[in-house]
Amino acid sequence: MKVPLFVPWISNSDLNSISSALKSSQLTDGPVLRKFESQFAKLTKSKFAIGVSNGTEALHLSLVALGIGKNDEVIIPDMTFIATSNAVVLSGAKPVLSDIDSSLNISPDSIQKAITKNTKAIIPVHFAGLSCNMKKIKQIAKENNLKIIEDCAHSIGTYFDKKHVGTFGDTGCFSFYPTKNITTIEGGMIITNSKGIAKKLQTLRNHGLSRTLLQRNKTQVPWEYDVETPGYNFRLDEIRATLGVSQLKRLKTMNLMRKNSADYYSQKLKNISGIDIPNLSNAKNHVYHLYVIRIKPEFGVSRNTIHKKLFKKGIHTTVHYKPLHTFSYLKKYLTKNEQFPNSLNAFKECLSLPLYPKITHVQQDYVIDNLLKLRK
């Protein structure tokens, strides 16, 4: 049996929507994007949603729109995908790494210790679909006059204190990469409650032009526009926006399917010595972009050995993520005294099991049975 790490769910409805969108006379920056943005804002109860080409650029544009750049420091978790760091570096700022806590999210205590006179922002990453402690992070930001840019790449449908993640900070940034809870193949979204920030983001994603393509095409002189600032071509086209609208209709269903599959893993693995499952006390607020277990010493077999042996059985697992401080280009941003014991320990122990909306219990049982056969 083959059990891939992830399989995107592209339905017939998705395919039909894309086919219809291809017949449009305007294939980018058009009316379907505006519809997707409006629906996304409604879902998250934010005032503005701005579609962009991917989640990395959602972070990058947020930093630029907030005026963060050269000589500024931005605190990010050590345990995240490299995109979080890349966005900071590409904005001209310095990434400052912070350790994680037992939830695998950024540690508020570590954030507090990392703040300097040059710190301008925090990027909390809601890891695997579980919210960071936004109450504590907001308090730290307020006390130190810091911006918050939430990295919500894993967490569409995740709530904290009954509010959707992404609405606690100045902006919230989402990814629609194929493995995410909904996909537009590539694509991203920024949400904000600030009209001024939204306007900057809309301008920056569109070469710095003062008018959108839709606005220009409605006039007799479409070339009459101003360029207010140097910008980028980070627009989201109509094809991907159409897929987003179609997928958004199934978001609750797909998240529930993920949760049910995660619950199945948890029920089968919760009493196994040497395996730590995700904290079930937070299960109702978890959308399980990932299902991450931790292999403890008492299991008797190393995480790497488990990964290799499962792979030979056709079961694909992986590790999320290699700590950022271990990458060569980020070493120059570190000081000699920085330590990240929690993220290093998590990196040694964590293993992401196959999880996607249409995974079957038969497939999960195959994963579980082969995993437990390896126990010493």
Nearest to 215, CA basis, from 50, 58, 54, 26: 26
- pLDDT band for position 357 (50/70/90)? very high
Per-residue pLDDT at 136 exceeds 90: yes
What DSSP line would sit under 46-99, residue for residue? -SEEEEES-HHHHHHHHHHHTT--TT-EEEEESSS-HHHHHHHHHTT-EEEEE-
Query: What predicted TM-score, i.e. pTM, was given to this entire model?
Result: 0.96
Question: How does pLDDT run across 152-191, given as a tens digit for each residue?
Answer: 999 999 999 999 999 999 999 999 999 999 999 999 999 9
Q: Which amino acid is at 196?
A: G
- pLDDT band for position 362 (50/70/90)? very high
Q: What's the chain's average pLDDT?
A: 95
- What tokens appear for 207 in the block? 């070469």
Looking at residue 223, its pLDDT comes to: 81
- CA dihedral sign, ordered 151, 64, 91, 180: positive
Looking at residue 226, its pLDDT comes to: 86
Would 12-248 and 251-373 be classified into the same CATH topology? no
What is the percentage of the chain residues whose pLDDT exceeds 90? Answer: 89
Q: Mean pLDDT across the stretch 105-113?
A: 97
Q: Mean pLDDT across the stretch 352-359?
A: 98
Q: Mean pLDDT across the stretch 52-71?
A: 98
Looking at residue 279, its pLDDT comes to: 87
- What tokens appear for 196 in the block? 């001024």
Looking at residue 208, its pLDDT comes to: 86
Per-residue pLDDT at 67 exceeds 80: yes
Per-residue pLDDT at 73 exceeds 90: yes
Per-residue pLDDT at 31 exceeds 90: yes
The order of strands in the sheet holding 350-353 is 275-276, 291-295, 350-353
Question: How does pLDDT run across 195-240, given as a tens digit for each residue?
Answer: 999 999 999 999 988 888 777 777 777 788 888 889 999 999 999 9
| CATH architecture assigned to 251-373 | Alpha-Beta Complex (3.90)
Query: Residue ranges of the domains in the chain?
Result: 12-248, 251-373
Looking at residue 284, its pLDDT comes to: 81
Q: Mean pLDDT across the stretch 313-318?
A: 98
How many angstroms separate the Cα of 281 from the Cα of each of 103, 109, 266, 273? 11, 22, 12, 19
Neighbours of 199 (CB within 10 A): 14
d(CA 189, CA 173): 6
Looking at residue 151, its pLDDT comes to: 98
Looking at residue 25, its pLDDT comes to: 86
Domain 12-248 fold is Aspartate Aminotransferase; domain 2 (3.40.640)
Q: Mean pLDDT across the stretch 249-266?
A: 98
